[in-house]
Structure 1
Amino acid sequence: MNPNVRQSGDSAPVEEHEKIPDERFGDDGLHPVPPAEFNRILRKVDRRVIPILAIFYLLSFLDRGSIGNANIQGLSETLGLVGHQYNWCLTVFFFPYSFFEPVSNLMLVRLRPSIWLPSIVTAWGIVMTLTGVVQNYSGLLAARFFLGLTEAGLFPGLAFYVSLWYPRANAQFRLALIFASASMAGAFSGLLAYLIVKMDGVGGLEGWRWIFLLEGMLTVAVAVVSFWLVWDSPKTATFLTDREKEILLASLGHTVNAASSNEHASHWKQVKAAIFDWQTILHCLGYWGVATAVYALSLFLPTIIKGLGYSAAIAQLLTIPIYAAATMSCIAVGYFADKTAKRSLFTIACYLIILIGYIIVVAPPRFIPGLIYAGCFIAACGMYPAIPGLLALASNNWAPDAKRAVGIAIQIGVGSMGGAAASNFYRSSDSPRYRLGHSLVLAFTALGLLSTVSYYVICKKLNARRDAAAPSEQSYTEAELLGMGDRAPTFRYRV
């Protein structure tokens, strides 16, 4: 029996990963190792695992969002896009992106992450490069479809992959470090676009084409190198000593062992459990609310700022302070949410910040450019740290691993359809204020806030109910508890 799963005779049953306060134990409270040594191991993993994941996601967000930078540099005019054709090119990305995320995560847990992750990065880098040579609306539409298809597996894959390396108590800060690269991508996107469009006319190509060509080739180059930089799990990590592996695996409980087993990972029972679990709808709605805001900002921020009276070049540069502030906010919130173990409360605060930002944008009766810029600035500082918070809640509270992998993919897949909606919120006829678009983002954010508050309340009640359960109701074998996952009476939701 696992000594960390308390049996029916114990007075305070806890879930397998649960923290047991004891100065002899590491941060996760599961093994007799000094905290300083355990933290050293985590930092060692950080140096080898987080940078390449952050680079992957930076490139992902850079590549999917650069169409906004290309558009204000003449993409629509060159391709002859009229009416809502540009918006449809944004929208079509999200249909394959959302649909194939659960499928891709199943592939990830069945195959080796060191092969699957670099392969999908290579694939979308090729698609991104080819986007630079499209000649008409149909070509751009097809390119965006295949970009969504090839990018689909990355973010849910990264979220699940992090859970294979870090205990629940240490996950959000690492997810924040990865997702902060999305806001960094926004800053880089504006700066790179400002520099790249100066190549206008080189090789007989327009400047906006070079945005796709150069960024796509960069992605392919990074992907090829990454085949030697991604490890499958702590068990196979050559940069860890045997003792370090033992300590890290102990802190993860059964996570890595189950994740490395195809029998567990492909178990249809857990796939079905993820689809019909009560958590799924709330996780999806919460993510949808924030994803709508994130995609609205990343796809339209250059256009919104240009509408404030700036040139295209200056609009590109003015996106940088907003994304830089969002990056710092994302990392800071992730750090303190892990340190205090108050993930739901920090995430709820992020929703409130987004609401404040968009209220500042929408409420004034007349068009005030400075307020619109300030509102977008404030909202960005709330929306980017909210995503890691939501993913950490999902990663912490879905179990076992096959259910977690599918659940996270469903959460991100369904939630990312908010991007499809946001792609059509900002119509050229609403320029320069875009009050309708901002109001819709505000409404979706309110929906996400309501869902997250509901999730917090339900989890607290379920934990209290399990704490109060009679010991006789908790006489299960370890195998039974593992099979029950988050429905086990010894499991406690972390909120």
Structure 2
Amino acid sequence: MTASRDPSIDSTHKVVVDEQRIEDFIEKEPVAGPSTGDKQAKDAALEILGSGTEHHEITEEEDRRVLRKIDLWVMPVVLLVYFLQQLDKSSLSYTSVFGIVEATGLVGTQYSWLSSIVYLAQLIWQPISSFLLVKLPIAKYLFVNVCMWGVVVAATSAAHDFRGLITARFFLGIFEASVAPAFITITQMWWRRREQTMRLSMWMAMNGGTGMVGSLLSWGLGHIHGRLQSYQVIFLFIGLLTVVCSPIVLLVLPDSPSTAKFLSREEKIVALERLRANNQGTETKVWKWEQVWDLLLDLKTYLWFCLLFLCAVPSGGIGAFGPLIIAGFGFDQFYTILFNVPFAFIQIIITLSAAWISTKLKLKWPVIFGLSIPPIAGVVALLKLGRDKEDRGALLACYYVLSFFNGLQPMLYTWSAQNTAGHTKKLCTTGMVFVAQCAGNIVGPLLYRTDEKPYYRRGLIANLICWIALAVLTLITAVFLAFRNKQQATARRRLGKAGKVVDRSLETYSERRAESDEYTKPGQGELKNDKAFDDLTDTQNEDFIYVL
């Protein structure tokens, strides 16, 4: 790896690495970073890279080696925490099969509210959480929240009525509010945009992993007969498991690439240089109100909000009532839990397959549109079929088809994250998206009632409407982003840059080499991305390219 002001990549894409020059650069080269007065206002990457306009060429082998390190150190922690978060949150649905409704005297929509209150608490706490994620070290803040929500879940086992349960679930929502925004921020600061889709989908696929492990775990715990009731055993075990695992976050997860102890100084340069083409930066510790106004005036902010809300309404309803829907097919409590396992397994396959296809296509909208079609067909069939014993096989098949909707949320999360720049704006966009998800998850369970079993028609019809609306809005969003890319190209030409460019952040090295001849054609060029670490928003940086 050598320091260079020429960002171009030669046709063979092989750079001779001179170890002595690396040492000279690290030990002798003065850092041309931001002054002390505005140090916090600049991206943290500049403390390592020096000037934002100074490029450091990296080889394919260096890129792969550092990526492997990042995947080995960061991803396991992210997967573990998201698994625990989903397990703790979903513990209510497992206890529903083991008599929590009857044991605690829940009536009407009280059970629905136990699911919705978690998201209501997240909705209330989200603005504060977004602010704290800017001001505080992200890994340490995450550790405190993980530990505390584990304590809350364990304490839920002591609740014997609706009042105790809803209080515990409210505080669970408060502490879990940091997880999704923190992980989206972590994904943006560690991986290139091409890599983000699969990584984000991997940690969101833990929803399915939780569904499988949680169902089998609950099946086993449900057979324990002692002084505690089955639902209490489930809460206690799952909560204590989270508390025991929480120190891993503090000990392993770094706050940013700039502070990662598992990377050497030269590896940090590689890790940060990899992100230049993203034009999204890593992090700053200054809250910038101008980026908040940028967010509020940006039409796509409201498109993300609507898309996530339409996605979350069915997700919240089926997430809370899924086991009860299966029970409505005529199965007992243990079969109900076991039949939930294939649903969760399909969810993992769909989520990862959608990410792979999207990465290959370098597009999001066709995948999102395609994922919305099977649930529409599945819910129509559930509304048409009866609940007789001979219909069980068909009913289960239709219910499993609904699992395609689980691939929508990671795709929408990635789509919004990849199309936003500026640290404050990124966190606020994530906050807005998460608010939409919370609102949908609040509404979703309330559209179902325990006294409407086994058909739950009102909830299923509402889900059908949401999926149809989501498919239409996906097409509208794609058209708008294409329009914004044309505006960005016009802005570049006005500044004397090439208007037609290729988004390097979505390409592999082999694709760069194969397409190298294209940049000699008239009207085409390659971005230098000199503003990548200036903490500009996507609307302020003409080099930013929107992902369709």
Q: What TM-score results when the alignment is normalised by the length of structure 2?
A: 0.81
CA separation in 2, counterparts of 1:480 and 1:196?
50
Mapping 1:28-107, distance limit 5 Å: 32-107=57-132
The corresponding residue for 1:267 is 288
CA separation in 1, counterparts of 2:274 and 2:533?
21
8 Å Cα contact 2:314/2:444 also seen in 1: yes
8 Å Cα contact 2:280/2:421 also seen in 1: no
8 Å Cα contact 2:312/2:441 also seen in 1: yes
Change (3 A) 1:414 1:74: same
CA separation in 1, counterparts of 2:78 and 2:191?
14
8 Å Cα contact 2:189/2:281 also seen in 1: no
8 Å Cα contact 2:281/2:534 also seen in 1: no
Offset of 1:276 from its aligned partner? Answer: 3.6
Residues 1:336 and 2:325 are matched in the alignment: no
Residues 1:422 and 2:447 are matched in the alignment: no
Change (3 A) 1:482 1:93: closer
Residues 1:279 and 2:300 are matched in the alignment: yes
CA separation in 1, counterparts of 2:454 and 2:316?
19
Which amino acid is the alignment partner of residue 92 of structure 1? Answer: I
The corresponding residue for 1:449 is 471
Residues 1:227 and 2:250 are matched in the alignment: yes
Change (3 A) 1:482 1:362: same
| Of 270-279 and 68-77, the range deviating more from structure 2 | 270-279
Aligned length: 473
Offset of 1:491 from its aligned partner? Answer: 2.0
Which amino acid is the alignment partner of residue 390 of structure 1? Answer: L
CA separation in 2, counterparts of 1:32 and 1:359?
54
Offset of 1:226 from its aligned partner? Answer: 2.3
Offset of 1:466 from its aligned partner? Answer: 3.0
Offset of 1:410 from its aligned partner? Answer: 1.1
| Of 347-356 and 225-234, the range deviating more from structure 2 | 347-356
8 Å Cα contact 1:290/1:444 also seen in 2: yes
Q: Secondary structure at the match of 1:199?
A: coil
Mapping 1:436-475, distance limit 5 Å: 436-468=458-490, 471-473=493-495
Which amino acid is the alignment partner of residue 228 of structure 1? Answer: L
Residues 1:207 and 2:230 are matched in the alignment: yes
8 Å Cα contact 1:163/1:171 also seen in 2: yes
Change (3 A) 1:245 1:3: same
| Of 421-430 and 35-44, the range deviating more from structure 2 | 35-44
Q: String of CA shifts for 1:66-124, please: whole Å, max 9, x gaps.
A: 11111221111111112222122222221111232232132122111121111111111
| Of 90-99 and 365-374, the range deviating more from structure 2 | 365-374
The corresponding residue for 1:24 is 13
Q: Secondary structure at the match of 1:198?
A: coil
CA separation in 2, counterparts of 1:292 and 1:331?
22
8 Å Cα contact 1:31/1:251 also seen in 2: no
CA separation in 2, counterparts of 1:176 and 1:471?
36
Mapping 1:111-190, distance limit 5 Å: 111-190=136-215
The corresponding residue for 1:12 is none
The corresponding residue for 2:509 is none
8 Å Cα contact 1:287/1:416 also seen in 2: no
Offset of 1:477 from its aligned partner? Answer: 9.1
Which amino acid is the alignment partner of residue 440 of structure 2? Answer: G
CA separation in 1, counterparts of 2:240 and 2:347?
27
8 Å Cα contact 1:164/1:255 also seen in 2: no
The corresponding residue for 2:406 is 384
The corresponding residue for 1:370 is 393
Q: String of CA shifts for 1:350-382, please: whole Å, max 9, x gaps.
A: 1223223222322447763333321221221x2
CA separation in 1, counterparts of 2:317 and 2:14?
45
8 Å Cα contact 1:474/1:490 also seen in 2: no
Question: Which consecutive unaligned segments of at least 5 residues does structure 1 have?
Answer: 6-18
Structure with the largest fraction of helix? 1
The structure 1 residue matched to 2:312, chosen from 281, 287, 291, is: 291
Q: String of CA shifts for 1:129-182, please: whole Å, max 9, x gaps.
A: 111110211111111111111111111111111101011121010001100001
Residues 1:494 and 2:547 are matched in the alignment: yes
CA separation in 2, counterparts of 1:491 and 1:4?
20
| Of 292-301 and 363-372, the range deviating more from structure 2 | 363-372
Residues 1:319 and 2:340 are matched in the alignment: yes
The corresponding residue for 1:251 is 274
CA separation in 1, counterparts of 2:495 and 2:248?
53
8 Å Cα contact 1:176/1:331 also seen in 2: yes
8 Å Cα contact 1:25/1:32 also seen in 2: no
The corresponding residue for 1:306 is 327
Q: CA RMSD in A?
A: 2.7
Change (3 A) 1:43 1:349: farther
8 Å Cα contact 1:102/1:409 also seen in 2: yes
Q: What TM-score results when the alignment is normalised by the length of structure 1?
A: 0.89
The corresponding residue for 2:371 is 350
Structure with the greater alpha carbon radius of gyration: 2
CA separation in 2, counterparts of 1:85 and 1:366?
25
8 Å Cα contact 2:279/2:533 also seen in 1: no
CA separation in 2, counterparts of 1:228 and 1:31?
31
The structure 2 residue matched to 1:393, chosen from 407, 411, 415, is: 415
8 Å Cα contact 1:164/1:256 also seen in 2: no
Q: Secondary structure at the match of 1:416?
A: helix
CA separation in 2, counterparts of 1:215 and 1:480?
41
CA separation in 2, counterparts of 1:79 and 1:175?
37
8 Å Cα contact 1:109/1:259 also seen in 2: no
8 Å Cα contact 2:137/2:255 also seen in 1: yes
Change (3 A) 1:198 1:251: same
8 Å Cα contact 1:474/1:489 also seen in 2: no
Which amino acid is the alignment partner of residue 148 of structure 2? Answer: A
CA separation in 1, counterparts of 2:200 and 2:267?
22
CA separation in 2, counterparts of 1:252 and 1:198?
50
CA separation in 2, counterparts of 1:269 and 1:169?
28
8 Å Cα contact 2:98/2:222 also seen in 1: yes
